[in-house]
Amino acid sequence: MLQGGGACAADGHGGRPARRRRHPLHQGHAGRVRVRLYTVHGEPPRKVEGPEGWPQPKGPPPVLLRDGFSLYPFLFGFLWFLAQRLWIEAGVMLALTVAAMVLLPDPYAAAAVLALHVIAGFEGRDRQRARLARRGMPELAVVAAPDMDLAWFRLAAQRPDLVKAAP
């Protein structure tokens, strides 16, 4: 209707650019899914055969630990280490906190204690992994999943021999 003087090709000076096709490999955003890494710790599977018809003995269930920064050690410091039964780490954290508070002036002491708590947040899960390894539960697998439930399902698909021991 109001397009000018008759039927003809567009002059190309329109108010908007021509539609472009999407790139064949980039089809838009698929959503933001945060994938986390979980390490699986447990006793290696045993090849024990009992008498015929008897069930295989079950070992302790595997433990999944999320990798990355942990909020609870950051907030609670040595109390979290005590709750996790990491006695040496709790003693070191308490000794360093007390030494920073006693030996350093106030602004530096606060910064030092904050730095200790940040380090505890980054190292808390690693200390748990070390304790599990000391107790005979080495790292058996790594699973990538957005949450703990899906990590168990992916572990079952990846290593069914470990999930047989799950509760």
Closest CA to 40 of 163, 167, 127, 164: 163
Q: Are 34 and 17 in contact, with CB atoms under 8 Å apart?
A: no
Alpha-carbon span 90 to 28, nearest angstrom: 48
Element (H, E) at 88: helix 87-103
pTM of the model: 0.69
- Averaged pLDDT, 59-85: 92
Cβ neighbours for 123, distance < 8 A, ≥ 6 positions apart:
73
Extended beta strands in the chain, E state: 36-41, 63-66, 139-145
- Averaged pLDDT, 15-37: 66
Alpha-carbon span 120 to 78, nearest angstrom: 9
High-pLDDT (> 70) share of the chain, %: 71
Question: Which pair of structure tokens corresponds to residue 87?
Answer: 């006695």
- DSSP β-bridge partners for residue 65: 39
Q: Are 89 and 39 in contact, with CB atoms under 8 Å apart?
A: no
Among 19-23, 33-37, 81-85, 125-129, the least confident range: 19-23
- Averaged pLDDT, 48-55: 66
Q: What does the pLDDT read at residue 166?
A: 52
What rounded mean pLDDT belongs to the chain?
Answer: 82
33 pLDDT band, cuts 50/70/90, is: confident
146 pLDDT band, cuts 50/70/90, is: very high
